[in-house]
Amino acid sequence: MTIQCISPIDGSVYVRRETLNRAQADAAVGRAQAAQKEWANRPLAERIALVQAGVTAVGAMNDEIVPELAHQMGRPVRYGGEFGGFDERARYMASIADEALAPIEVEDSGAFRRVIKRVPHGLVLIVAPWNYPYMTAINTVAPALIAGNAVMLKHASQTPLVGERLAQAFHSVGIPEDVFQNVFLDHQTTSDLIGARSFGFVNFTGSVGGGRAMEAAASGTFTGLGLELGGKDPGYVMDDADVDAAAETLIDGAMFNSGQCCCGIERIYVHESLFDSFVQKAVEIVKGYTLGNPLEPDTTIGPMAHARFAQVVRSQISEALAQGATPHIETFAQDDGGAYLTPQILTNVTHDMRVMREESFGPVVGIMSVKDDAEAICLMNDSDYGLTASLWTKDVARAESIADQIETGTVFMNRADYLDPGLCWTGCKDTGRGGGLSVIGYHNLTRPKSYHLKKA
């Protein structure tokens, strides 16, 4: 089977790759499982140093990577790629590895040695998405390798060059080829491998449907799963908020990367006293965007990664307008009815509309007026998703009190669409389960092993 990346720039085929058949995939699994044991026996400091060297090698490729990303998924070159966040996350996980993986000493007396060690799962499969293809992959790749696992990376068909770049960089610094493998697999082969207990742990970032397929494949195998399945993340602007700062950050969170971010802002609730001023500011920001070819330095918002993704957003907007929503952005001249989509702000929206309930994953946001915190909390929780929420206020205690009542994985105050590697990246409800990064990320990529040693 052949996978191909259709470039959103012009609809041409940018990359083609052949997938592994089942026999080839089984052989790759066997090589990885065999190589993992020797890798895990290397000193932790050596594994850390090799992963950090691999990260540096990726950085050296950035001038080539940035236009590749534009061709593959449409992000404008003016933003310089993902290496800053990629490097930050990997370096942080390297810095906490000694502490996170340290044994828990319960007793070491004349009679007993009792200790809990963290040991690697063995082989970890990482199924990575196309929207932030380097940063989402490194969230698991770096700690998995540092913890002593072998890794097989299956990247999205929209970004096939990313896995190849990572393999090239990591192998160039001495990480064994069988310890880190970039693989091209079709859905059925992936499911078959999971069902055959080929992996000790599977980390998947993608759609709810994809997450269900992973759970179905792993059913009865007791394979550990980490699932991050998207979101419908809310922002709440309280009556004491800095309106300009809130609008700038929340609208950027809604529109950056053409809205293609799992933790992007997809719905905004504004206290009624600030509603008009917030909407006015938000509309001014979006009207200032330049939609166009992502290879052009003046472009501030590029095409969506595929025309079919843009069609989902268009259909949500059309339905909302038919139900009474008010659009605030006139169609941009560069909107071609395909991947190039006008960013849109909607008011007079309700939770009866798909655009306020289903994940859009595109450059559209609905804004609603609320009378108080109780109404805002109710609306923020009225969702099948729970990844992040963004609260805007000058009152930290008020924000934390509201945060305690929101069904979500991460709560931000006076910022949005951000990932702090020191905190667990996690979610609830249809967003999935598990947790990446932080100390907890290491705990999920290893298993506890207890030692009860009675001394003679």
Q: How far apart are CA 14 and CA 8, in angstroms?
A: 9
Tell me, what amino acid is at 341?
L
State whether 224 and 89 are in the same domain: yes
State whether 291 and 321 are in the same domain: yes
Map residue 416 onto helix, strand or coil: coil
Which DSSP string do the residues of 169-213 spell out, in sequence order? HHHHTT--TTTEEEE---HHHHHHHHHTT--SEEEEES-HHHHHH
77-88 pLDDT per residue, tens: 999 999 999 999
pLDDT at 369: 98
State whether 64 and 193 are in the same domain: yes
State whether 176 and 268 are in the same domain: no
250 membership: H or E segment, kind and range = helix 243-255
Catalytic machinery residues: 228, 262
pLDDT at 413: 98
In this prediction the pTM is 0.97
Total of domains in the chain: 2
Q: Where in the sequence is the domain holding 395, given as residue range(s)?
A: 233-420
CA 171, 72, 8 angle in degrees (round to 5)?
175
pLDDT at 100: 98
27-58 pLDDT per residue, tens: 999 999 999 999 999 999 999 999 999 999 99
187-219 pLDDT per residue, tens: 999 999 999 999 999 999 999 999 999 999 999
State whether 252 and 400 are in the same domain: yes
Residue 426 belongs to a domain: no
Residue 174 belongs to a domain: yes
Nearest to 421 by CA among 91, 56, 59: 91
Residue 201 neighbours by CB under 8 Å, 6+ apart: 121, 124, 125, 144, 149, 223, 224, 225, 226, 444, 445
- Share the mean pLDDT of the chain: 98
Tell me, what amino acid is at 188?
Q
| Residue numbers of the chain with a pLDDT score lower than 50 | none
State whether 442 and 406 are in the same domain: no
Nearest to 120 by CA among 151, 156, 80: 151
State whether 170 and 88 are in the same domain: yes
Q: What CATH number has the domain bearing residue 327?
A: 3.40.309.10
State whether 381 and 436 are in the same domain: no
State whether 222 and 253 are in the same domain: no
State whether 23 and 49 are in the same domain: yes
Q: What CATH number has the domain bearing residue 67?
A: 3.40.605.10
Structural contact between residues 5 and 159, judged by C-beta atoms closer than 8 angstroms = yes
Nearest to 207 by CA among 430, 436, 405, 26: 430
pLDDT at 456: 84
Q: How far apart are CA 237 and CA 250, in angstroms?
A: 10
Map residue 255 onto helix, strand or coil: helix
State whether 224 and 241 are in the same domain: no
State whether 119 and 107 are in the same domain: yes
Residue 72 belongs to a domain: yes
Residue 376 belongs to a domain: yes
